[in-house]
Amino acid sequence: MKEFNPTLAKEIFIEGGRLVDPENKLDFQANILIRNGKISAIGSEIKAEGCEILDASGCVVFPGMFDMHAHLREPGREDQETIQSGCAAAIAGGFTGLCTMPDTNPVTDSRSLVDFIKSEAEKTMVDVSPVAAITKGRKGEELAEMAELVESGVVAFSDAPRSVAHTNLLRNALDYARMFNVPIIEVCEDAELAAHGLMNEGAMSTRLGVHGIPGIAEDIIVSRNIHLAEYTGTPMHLAKISRKKSVELMRQAKKQGIKVTCDVTPHHCLLTENDLANYDTNFKVKPPLRTQADVNAIIEGLIDGTIDAIATDHAPFSPEEKQVEILVAPFGSTGLETAFPALFTHLVRTSRLSFEHLLEKMIAAPRKILNLEVPQLRKGNNANLCIWDLSAFRTVVPDEFYSRSRNSIFLTATMYGVIKAVINKKHIWNA
């Protein structure tokens, strides 16, 4: 794990960068002057006077991204990740904001746990938004104290990485969530149908001789959740959809005006079940990697707006847990440090997705779903931005991670996009 050393950003002059801000409809070359954590001026004529100068020539400057699905493990599994190390990984990946999932130990289902997470997050450069459990202990039996949790500052509710199995209980949760104006985030998998499965059910699982997870395990829950959102009138966000059928169901629901949104992970945009051919446990994720037809449908969904956001599903595990037989290895991959370079390399540089589309899915869209303020490159706003050299490339190696864990699905991959600096919360980190 690399050492993370941010410093106070008093007066910073960012010189010569290409400023891109889809929300603010900006795309031009200019300088940025930052004083006391705020953008003091933007323009090509402004000059540095006694400031720290950041040479952004040949680089792109855009607002910090937001990951709405990260497992930071603290409290309970600090050997895998801590709030501090997870937030360092986030900054190293250009994320200035993220949501923590509630699968901590103990579960994030009480005010005291939310207060702890917020307190630890204050020590970082990241704007951390806790997500609390829908049910007590994530057991799917009794609703958590939702009113108290909203008062404590949670931005959404989820039993991730599980779905709420009992439909009537989820309906009640949606009714409460509507009262508090917070979304429900549902992971779409029927646990009984998916039980014992290790990868996508199909020709590849048969060839490898392992139990498959049938696609219908996702389809059924996606369909149920859309119907519940329509019935209750409560916004629901479907996390990590991975199938062509799910994209089609979401497209139809949106045409009908149902209040549903969804996200996908970088790996489901780029990889397929064939990547598991060598039994590499870093490719064992939930939902499982699907087919090329599913990947193509996901990219089409990103282009036409059916899919709202991209989330990393950052899921760190220790080497002892991942470097075992595929039958017993846990599902999950880290993602905060590799998400943007992977997507930029394989979608933007190949002209499958526009740069502006990618940024919108990773900056504004997740924050809007959660009713959070969207950072903009605008005079008077808080400085919340990252600087990338998109012409430079690097190979993903574990020794360069800021995360405590090394289980990356993109290990050894070469990617374009090298981060140079991040500014947020009146601090600067230079890579």
Catalytic option among 55, 313, 389, 399: 313
159 catalytic? Reply is: no
Distances (CA, A) of 207 to 202, 212, 261, 431: 9, 11, 35, 44
Considering only 5-19, 111-125, 368-382, which range has the smallest mean pLDDT?
5-19
* Position 54, amino acid: L
pLDDT digits (tens, 9 = 90+) for 220-259: 999 999 999 999 999 999 999 999 999 999 999 999 999 9
Residue 117 reports pLDDT greater than 90: yes
pLDDT digits (tens, 9 = 90+) for 305-325: 999 999 999 999 999 999 999
pLDDT value at position 10? 86
* Position 359, amino acid: L
Residue 381 buriedness (CB in 10 A; 0-12 / 13-18 / 19+): middle
Residue 272 reports pLDDT greater than 80: yes
pLDDT digits (tens, 9 = 90+) for 138-189: 999 999 999 999 999 999 999 999 999 999 999 999 999 999 999 999 999 9
CB 31 within 8 A of CB 15: yes
CB 117 within 8 A of CB 83: yes
Going along the chain from its start, the domains and CATH numbers come out as: 7-61+379-430 (2.30.40.10), 64-369 (3.20.20.140)
Distance CA 289, CA 270 (A): 9
Please state the rounded mean pLDDT for residues 292-300: 99
Residue 47 reports pLDDT greater than 90: no
Distance CA 249, CA 266 (A): 20
pLDDT value at position 73? 97
pLDDT value at position 9? 86
Taking the model in full, what pTM does it have?
Answer: 0.97
Residue 49 reports pLDDT greater than 90: no
Confidence of residue 48 (pLDDT cuts 50, 70, 90): confident
